[in-house]
Amino acid sequence: MGNRKIKHFAIENRIEELTSLAEQIDNLAEEWELSPALAMNLNLVIEEAISNIIFYAFKDKVKHEIKISISLENKRLTIIITDNGIPFNPLEQQQPDISLPAGERPVGGLGIFLISQIMDEMNYERNKNENILTLTKSI
Amino acid sequence: MHLKKNKTGIFTVLNIKGRIDTIHSADLEKEVNMLFDSGEKYLIFNCGEMNYISSSGLRIFLIAQKKVMAMNGKLYLSNMQPSIQEIFRISGFSNLFKIFATQEEALQNQ
């Protein structure tokens, strides 16, 4: 199966956009015949990355576009997320200590960690004024 | 997301249905805080119909656990779907909660 499938999405930097994005991802998962578990993980990874961008990347009150492309080729799933917010390299974020008991466990900081656990590879690039996050997973 | 609660013995069972994502986690937090405010400290979250959770939802579960511990109460989870169990496993949350296969088993652990 050498054929490559690709879908592009674009949303505004508003958290409400996640609802329709999730529906579109569910539709894509159905169209590409991805398992429900994989569809959930795909949604999860994208939600974590996008919510981080929406909450932290923009210091102004202006509308911004966040672009998401999802492709599948030779059983390899690639997600590319591009935003024009402040430089942010998620790979440099401190990883949580998941061995801590509940009383000592800090609340939050799990989003990027979940992405790194679910995906095989995570790459970050700053190009001109854009953050480009590339996530891949063999399925 | 849809929440339904009922009282069984000392426990308040909260049935969580649907997606616990960035958008809906605030509603879950509000509901859980209302339970705490009304003095409930023995809780079961029945997750049988919860089909999605992101870090914002996990955050609410952890906050609830911390509050229950501070009150010497109990918070049990039950009926979790395998894909949700996997999220709990990779985030280390499986070790932070008592997770039962069924609500009945959770109710027996008073």
Q: Is residue A1 pLDDT above 70, yes or no? A: no
Q: Is residue B85 pLDDT above 80, yes or no? A: yes
What is the pLDDT, as a whole number, of residue B43?
Answer: 98
pLDDT per position as a tens digit, A38-78: 999 999 999 999 999 999 999 998 999 999 999 999 999 99
DSSP string, B2-28: EEEEEEETTEEEEEEEEEESTTTHHHH
Beta partners for residue B6, in sequence order: B13
Closest-CA residue of chain A to B60: A107
Q: Is residue B56 pLDDT above 60, yes or no? A: yes
Nearest CB to B91 within list A19, A22, A110 = A110
Interface of B with A in 30-49 (CB under 8 A): none
Which of A9-41 are b and which e, b meaning 16 or more Cβ less than 10 Å from the residue's Cβ? bebebebebbeebbeebbebbeebebeeebbbb
Q: Which domains does chain A have, with CATH numbers?
A: 5-138 (3.30.565.10)
Instruction: Give the whole-number percent of chain B exceeding pLDDT 90.
Output: 99
State pTM to two decimals. 0.94
Instruction: Give the whole-number percent of chain B exceeding pLDDT 70.
Output: 100
How far is Cα A90 from Cα B17, in angstroms, rounded to an integer? 31
Q: Given CB atoms, is B67 within the 8 Å cutoff of chain A?
A: no
Enumerate the residues of chain A whose CB falls inside 8 A of the CB of residue B72: none
What is the pLDDT, as a whole number, of residue A3?
Answer: 85
Q: Is residue B108 pLDDT above 90, yes or no? A: yes
DSSP string, B30-50: HHHHHHHHTT--EEEEEEEEE
For the structural domain made of B2-107, what CATH number should be given? Answer: 3.30.750.24
ipTM: 0.92
What is the pLDDT, as a whole number, of residue A2?
Answer: 62
Q: Do B91 and A37 touch (CB under 8 A)?
A: no
